[in-house]
A and B are shown apart, each in its own frame.
Chain A
Amino acid sequence: MKPFHYVIIGNGVAANKAAETIRHNHADAKITLISREFFLFYYRHKLPLYITGKIDETDLQVYPVEYYRERNIRLRLGQIVQKVDLHKKVVYLKHMEKVHYDRLLICSGGRSYIPEIYYPFRSCFTTMKRLSTARTIREKLPSVQSIAIVGGDLTSVKLAETLIDTGREVTFILDDYAFWPLESASEIRDSLENALRKMGANVISNDPLNMVKQIKDDDPPLYEIQTQSGKTLQAQMVGAFFGFKPDIDFLIRSGLDIDRGILVDDQLKTAFDDVYAAGDCAQIYAPELKNYWVSVGWKNALRLGEAAALNMVGLTGHARKPAAHATQYKGIKLSTPWWHIL
């Protein structure tokens, strides 16, 4: 008899926690993790250190490959999910392979979001959500001296700090889109501005980005950035940090309900039996809020991955919206580890 097959799309925090929980509760099941990235599960928040050469790729790894071997978790890395047939219970990979599942968990996470208003300039922006893009930035960085950062999130602040430490000139352009995912950016803008200035960054505040264009196609290239007041500056790299949006394009027209993320109930179950979603890609209904919320951050992803896995193995897990608590980084107070749908 074929073993019960759990397929998990994604290889981030929620996916790995789910795989671990499933294995703990279902010893003889087949567990497959499918990830578009070629790398083992890594610490995303350490990417700024990796980019500036302070740590190496192996320092990013959360678990060595033996971890998966010991737990008999099959890793399918560098494989892109093309589509999912939820009626036939088949995941189609881009190289035309079909993977059948008995229960599916989608933890495909998020990808860098560029606000629509800045869409025309997207070719000028460098984003940093994945290790593959971080690796490209690391390769380019030795020839880059000036960097402009638009938007803002914790990763970008950390990146600015490490770049300044390595002697590079960093200009931060703060606008309404900073500080994702918080809604009332103005409340934290002052503390963010102070922290950045203290680090040694140039800060342009209350003067949003108007235009970015490439003015030299050298190595490194040169970009001209213009703000709405007409202020211009030049930089060899323009980093865009506007947060993430769920990476779920492969699910469009699959039959799943998708709004800002995959709509799931508080047990992380979709409308399809045996299909669950957790982590940054899920939009979770919270009965106490009578509204949906979207998770952000490592801790939430851990909880959600565990809750989804418990439900998948026949136990009960609930996606509890975390209580708002303050996080402090470099004097910047953050008080919302989730956002709800307005």
Chain B
Amino acid sequence: MTRFVPPNESSQHPEDLDYIRTNIPCQWACPALTDIPGYIEAVYREKYDQAYLVNRRSNLFPGILGRICTRPCEQACRHGETDLGNPVTICHIKRVAADYKSDDHLIQEKLFASTGKTVGVVGAGPAGLAVAHSLAVFGHRVTLYETFPLPGGMMFYGIPAFRLPRSIIETEVFNILRQGIELKTGQTLGKNFTVQDLMSRHDAVVISAGCQKSRDLGVPGDTLPGVLSGLDFMMNVNEGKHQALGKQVVVIGGGFTAIDCCRSAKRLGAEDISVAIRGVEEDLTVPEEEIREIYREGIRFMSLVSTVAIEGDGKVERIRFIRNRFGGIRGSSGRSIIPIEGSEFTLETDTVIAAIGQTPDYGLMTDSNVTFNTDTGVSSIPGLFGAGDYIRKASTVIEAIGNGRRVAEFVDEYLVKRLRRTRTVTVKSANDTHRPRDWDFIDKHHMPSLNFDERLASQEAEVETGFSAETGQEAAKRCYLCNLKYEIHIPDCIYCRWCIDVCPRDCIELVAEIDPEKPAHLADDHIVTSWNRVAGIVIDGDRCIRCGECYRVCPTQCIHVTRVGLHDRCLSREMS
């Protein structure tokens, strides 16, 4: 038998965690380890409050992430594998949970008893809020120090309102702060206080000041009036400050900030907008749907170009590029981008926005020798921790949240001298879902959006209008529910092989060898066709699409279904 965690039990064994990695790829790909099949099933059952809570347990901001998440889960979704169609629209379904939860739904928190310890957290961005939330849940008294007038960090000041309405940020950030977290705005590290000040005030300090320093272009003319940094431009847009851009705008860079810059420029009246990237579109981390929206708004990509100089008499008038070609093979160590000698050309422009990345401002700290573990946040100074982009370089909101939650566990362990929360694999008995095979062939649903005139009418008009509840349910039906585990109890099997006959993806095989310590991955050399060598029959969870056909056809009912999950487990009995 290949089950290695008995039903209704839990485990922290690395093998069991590895089961999650290979069998529930979406959850494993999520930096916050969100229980994705769990909330998708809840959306299908119209239990939107439950779906919201399942999300919030891990990623804290379902409404925000349902709009702006970079969706690493969808890239890992089994439905997107060769021959299986398109990935489930996980992010859009998350938004359905947030959009349709009831007005009076209750947010439940499993709070620990007060510890009497205090923690200062610098920066109220996604990582800082995630750290603060977890520490408040652990019973510590948390004070957040924030430079800007409003909390939310880059979610508020970096992302435009047409992608993420401000009301959603306000509500979800408020739900974090109301855990008794004190927010002090207008407080800047290195200006209003030092790390030493905070260390003397609190039992532990977490620096999650983000990446606030824009990278310079480093080409002649990059200080001319009319050359803006992407971050400064977006902050001004989000603070409602007027910016005259002219008609022609060139945005340099291919990340989310660059994309937000060019779409915001469009709404500020720029007519001819180009995004200049060194490589090609395939290299961009921005989702395909976002790129399509760029094209829809009449913005064009200029690929394989690098900036040589910005020219003009007292202000930007032109930008000079050189064309690139690739050297070496994609994915190999010899890969490079090579400028083509003599291929320079100029483009007239009124404004250049350089969105080529941000870095942490380490000058905020007086002691520049401090080092941080980028995974745990533990620093070379006892009691001082780091979290999010400040220690990991510029990343995404979901990565910042995942890291913030993890760092909080190490802060808590430092304060109370024991581990109080850990990731645990749970196995529970389950029934066949009776999910019809037809649902595997439902087409991917596309996010509805405002028409062209409406979307450009203001900076605030949210472009993506969200799924209806019905579409959300249809989209949820597409999920295979990979958290279900189908297993054959070999002693009961009569080797009729009906399951093999009905299996649509060749995931059930006769094998010569079974390792009871390993999950059921089929190695090619274990598969046999000769009866003389058959030692058992197994379902390869990595290939299985959980259609349930084998379960239904089995004459001896030797196929069992369990529900496997990865959850946070509190190890302390001190919960209030």
Contact = CB atoms under 8 A, between A and B. Distances in A.
B354 interface: no
Contact of A119 (B292, B294, B340): B292
Q: Of A211, A259, A291, which is in contact with the most chain B CB atoms at under 10 Å from its CB?
A: A259
Contact of B342 (A253, A259, A290): A290
Interface in A253-312: 253, 255-260, 263, 271-272, 285, 290-292
A259 B305 CA distance: 12
A291 B304 CA distance: 10
A115 interface: yes
B178 to A, nearest CB: 40
A263 B330 contact: no
Contacts of B293: 116
A116 B323 CA distance: 26
A94 interface: yes
Interface string B304-348: 100000000000000000010110111100000000101100000
Contacts of B328: 271
B330 A255 contact: yes
Interface stretch (B202-210, B295-303, B389-397): B295-303
Interface string A90-133: 00001000000000000000000001110110000000000000
Contacts of A292: 304
B83 interface: yes
A121 to B, nearest CB: 11
A271 B330 CA distance: 9
Contact of A256 (B83, B323, B330, B342): B330
Contact of B329 (A94, A120, A255, A258): A255
B292 A255 contact: no
A116 B343 contact: no
Contacts of A253: 282
B82 interface: yes
Interface residues of A, number: 26
A342 interface: yes
Nearest to B302: A342
B518 to A, nearest CB: 27
B452 interface: yes
Interface in A209-257: 211, 252-253, 255-257
B513 interface: no
Contacts of B331: 255
Given A116-B292, A285-B325, A291-B323, A258 B282 contact: yes
A94 B295 contact: no
B280 interface: yes
A115 B295 contact: yes
B281 interface: yes
Contacts of B325: 263, 285
A116 B292 CA distance: 6
Nearest to B329: A271
Interface residues of B, number: 28
A83 interface: yes
A234 B304 CA distance: 43
A147 B330 CA distance: 46
A271 B343 contact: no
Contact of A82 (B82, B303, B304): B82
A263 B326 contact: yes
Interface string B359-385: 000000000000000000000000000
A277 to B, nearest CB: 14
B508 to A, nearest CB: 17
Given A258-B280, A259-B280, A259-B303, A117 B296 contact: yes
A338 B300 CA distance: 19
B323 A290 contact: yes
Contacts of A290: 323, 340, 342-343
A120 B82 CA distance: 26
A319 B281 CA distance: 25
A313 B36 CA distance: 52
Contacts of B294: 116
Given A116-B295, A271-B330, A257 B343 contact: no
Contacts of A255: 329-331
Nearest to B280: A259
Contact of B296 (A82, A119, A341): A119
A97 B508 CA distance: 20
Contacts of A263: 280, 325-326
Contacts of B449: 120
A342 B304 CA distance: 10
Contact of B330 (A117, A211, A257): A257
B281 to A, nearest CB: 7
Interface in A27-58: none
Contacts of B280: 257-259, 263
Interface string B417-442: 00000000000000000000000000
A116 B291 CA distance: 10
Nearest to A258: B282
A272 B451 CA distance: 43
A291 B343 contact: yes
Nearest to B298: A117
Contact of A259 (B82, B281, B340): B281
Contacts of A120: 449
A94 B85 CA distance: 12
Contacts of A115: 295
A211 B454 CA distance: 14
A255 B281 CA distance: 14
Contacts of A83: 82
Q: Of B304, B328, B343, which is in contact with the most chain A CB atoms at under 10 Å from its CB?
A: B304
A119 B291 CA distance: 13
Nearest to A265: B325
A211 B450 CA distance: 12
Nearest to A270: B329
Interface string A329-340: 000000000000
A257 B280 CA distance: 8
A183 to B, nearest CB: 12
Q: Of A272, A291, A292, A342, which is in contact with the most chain B CB atoms at under 10 Å from its CB?
A: A342
Nearest to B300: A342
Contacts of A257: 280, 326, 330
Q: Of B83, B280, B292, which is in contact with the most chain A CB atoms at under 10 Å from its CB?
A: B280
B452 A252 contact: no
Given A117-B296, A259-B303, A263-B280, 14 more contacts: A82-B82, A115-B295, A116-B292, A116-B293, A120-B449, A257-B326, A257-B330, A258-B282, A259-B304, A271-B326, A271-B330, A290-B342, A291-B343, A341-B303
25 contacts: A83-B82, A94-B83, A115-B295, A116-B292, A116-B295, A117-B295, A119-B296, A257-B330, A258-B280, A258-B282, A259-B281, A259-B303, A259-B304, A260-B303, A263-B280, A263-B326, A271-B330, A272-B329, A290-B340, A290-B343, A291-B323, A291-B343, A292-B304, A342-B300, A342-B302
**Top 4 nearest A-B pairs by Cβ distance?**
A116-B295, A290-B343, A259-B280, A116-B296
Interface of B: 82-83, 280-282, 292-296, 298, 300, 302-304, 323, 325-326, 328-331, 340, 342-343, 449, 451-452
